[in-house]
Amino acid sequence: MVATDTSFKNLFTGFSEMVNQIPDFRTLKKKIKYTVQEICASAFAMMYFQDPSLNHFQKRMKEATNQSNLGTMFKVDNIPKQKRMRTFIDKIEPQYFYPAFPDIIRRLDKAKLLDQFQFKGRYLCPIDGTQFFHTKCEGTGCKHCLTKKHRNGTVSHSHSVVVPMIVHPDQKQVLPLISEEIRNEDGKKKQDCEINASKRLIPKLKEHYPDYRLIILGDGLYAKQTLIDLITENGYDFMLVVSPDYNKGFLEEVERRREAGRIQSIEINKKGKVYCYEWSSEIAFKKTGETTDANYIGLTITDSKTGTITYKNTWVTNLELFEEDIVDLVAAARSRWKVENEGFNILKNHDYELEHNYGHGTENLAFNFFQLTLLAHLYHQAHELGDKQYQQLREKKETKKNFWDSIRAAIRNILFIKWEDLIEYLLNPPELAYDPVSKTIVPKNTMFRSS
């Protein structure tokens, strides 16, 4: 049975089970010094604690005390050297990390913590792309790099990814489900792109989350017939931004209906602004040989004093439209921005250092490090939802920066037996003393000391 709490110990059980499925492709077995678990857990711990120097400090603690927080919390008895860790992770096929994500989502579901994300019996799932590696240095590209030739003759190399996340208009947490790299492959002349990566991603979503009903949200890039067909073929619904570049016929029909008075609408005055909601059903999406009907939703926000339009957007959806649902549907469609603001922005600018060059490699290192960073973020979101100790410490430290700074300072200098001891120590700091057995500073309370 899947455990129902979101403590670090329970979540890390799923990580260990995933790692056990990763094959050890090293051929010189006699020279193997570090297990697959030790290598992967050491890399994950860097992302979890958002500390590129973590292994260095834990190695010093290990040398002085014969123990480390990597050992007690992450089951790393032998801390691998950075070069060996990167070399091994570079060779791991990315799909081996996929199961760690649905494992956490299902634990949240079992704990009833996903209930607050439900929207009309489904889950809102925006999909968006972002870049996580970029360099203009010559000779640094790998076989999967996206390339761009500049006017001055230089060539830059980059890695990008497409990520679906569960969001809700009323929830600050976002839950990444999996990721698909936008990557070039040997033998293909045309570069990969976000749309092609999304076409690979949607069936993988169905494979790893077969029982979850999703409403796919996307920007104007996604409102294409081929993607809509793929979304519905996999049993999902959609609300996608309508783009004049791709959906000219659809928008022209909307305008014809508006002129004929066939567009339904309501207006709501709120805080000095007028919100005008529009909707209409069964508008044709043209396709060779057949016609697919979809529904239109629109929102225009106008300053009530000046008459200036401050926001305007339109969406296409296959969801049934009723007047009493329109405001909620628009709020749901607009929650797509959470992927960027609460997802990618947090990962890039708030301690996760997503664009930090942990290592590029020649095969899969950059993307695998991205996956481990995304997984660490999902762990933290799970803690925020269901770990009361974690929630109390977050409130005490007020900002995420203070929260993680205090955790990093503690684990660099003090040995803890488990994650909960670390959090309890920071919530209720005990008196410290030098322990001659472990040769380190420990709380006098023996619960923090190893046996």
Residues 249 and 386 in one domain: no
pLDDT, mean of residues 184-203: 88
CATH of the domain at 140: 3.90.350.10
- Mark which of 327, 349, 371 sits at the end of a domain: 349
2 is a domain residue: no
pLDDT, mean of residues 114-142: 88
- Mark which of 285, 316, 349 sits at the end of a domain: 349
pLDDT confidence band for 356 (50 / 70 / 90): low
pLDDT of residue 65: 73
Picking from 304-308, 342-346, 378-382, which range would have the lowest pLDDT averaged per residue?
342-346
pLDDT, mean of residues 147-154: 82
150 is a domain residue: yes
Judge whether residue 394 has pLDDT over 60: yes
Judge whether residue 168 has pLDDT over 50: yes
Picking from 25-39, 49-63, 95-109, 316-330, which range would have the lowest pLDDT averaged per residue?
49-63
Residues 143 and 283 in one domain: yes
Residues 222 and 318 in one domain: yes
137 is a domain residue: yes
**Total residue length of the chain:** 451
Residues 386 and 303 in one domain: no
Residues 398 and 345 in one domain: no
pLDDT of residue 217: 98
pLDDT of residue 444: 66
Tell which residue, 190, 204, 108, 113, has the closest CA to residue 147.
Answer: 190
Which of the two residues, 34 and 66, has the higher pLDDT score?
A: 34
pLDDT of residue 232: 95
104 is a domain residue: no
194 is a domain residue: yes
- Most confidently modeled of 22-26, 47-51, 100-104, 245-249? 100-104
Over residues 65-75, the pLDDT tens digits come to 788 999 999 99
pLDDT confidence band for 58 (50 / 70 / 90): confident
Tell which residue, 57, 44, 59, 55, has the closest CA to residue 14.
Answer: 44
209 is a domain residue: yes
Which amino acid, residue 39? I
Range of the domain at 146: 114-349
Q: Return d(Cα 354, Cα 144) in angstroms, integer.
A: 18
Judge whether residue 2 has pLDDT over 50: no
pLDDT of residue 390: 92
Judge whether residue 125 has pLDDT over 90: yes
pLDDT, mean of residues 281-301: 80
pLDDT of residue 200: 97
Picking from 157-171, 221-235, 436-450, which range would have the lowest pLDDT averaged per residue?
436-450
107 is a domain residue: no
Residues 296 and 361 in one domain: no
Residue 105: Cβ-neighbour burial (10 angstroms; 0-12, 13-18, 19+): buried
Residues 33 and 86 in one domain: yes
- Most confidently modeled of 54-58, 67-71, 287-291, 349-353? 67-71
Residues 30 and 79 in one domain: yes
Picking from 26-30, 102-106, 173-177, 344-348, which range would have the lowest pLDDT averaged per residue?
26-30
Residues 361 and 344 in one domain: no
Across the chain, mean pLDDT equals 89
Residue 234 near residue 205 (C-beta atoms within 8 A) = yes
pTM of the model: 0.90
Which of the two residues, 415 and 435, has the higher pLDDT score?
A: 415
Coil vs helix vs strand at 7? coil
- Mark which of 319, 349, 379 sits at the end of a domain: 349
Picking from 169-173, 296-300, 436-440, which range would have the lowest pLDDT averaged per residue?
436-440
pLDDT of residue 284: 85
Question: For 129, phi and psi rounded to 5 degrees?
Answer: -110, 155
Residues 123 and 39 in one domain: no
* Cβ neighbours of 447 (radius 10 Å): 13
Residues 199 and 309 in one domain: yes
Judge whether residue 450 has pLDDT over 50: no
Angle in degrees, CA 185, 186, 187, rounded to 5? 115
Judge whether residue 334 has pLDDT over 50: yes
Over residues 200-219, the pLDDT tens digits come to 999 999 999 999 999 999 99
Tell which residue, 51, 41, 55, has the closest CA to residue 100.
Answer: 41
Residue 251 near residue 225 (C-beta atoms within 8 A) = no
Distance spanning both ends of the chain, measured CA to CA: 31
Residues 337 and 371 in one domain: no
DSSP annotation string for 82-148: HHHHHHHHHHS-GGGGTTHHHHHHHHHHHTT-SGGGEETTEEEEEEEEEEEEEE--TT---TT-EEE
101 is a domain residue: no
Q: What percent of the chain has pLDDT above 70?
A: 92
For the chain, how many structural domains are there in total?
A: 2
pLDDT confidence band for 437 (50 / 70 / 90): confident
DSSP annotation string for 237-294: EEEEE--TTT-HHHHHHHHHHHHTT--EEEEEEETTEEEEEEEEEEEEEEETTEEEEE
pLDDT, mean of residues 335-351: 86
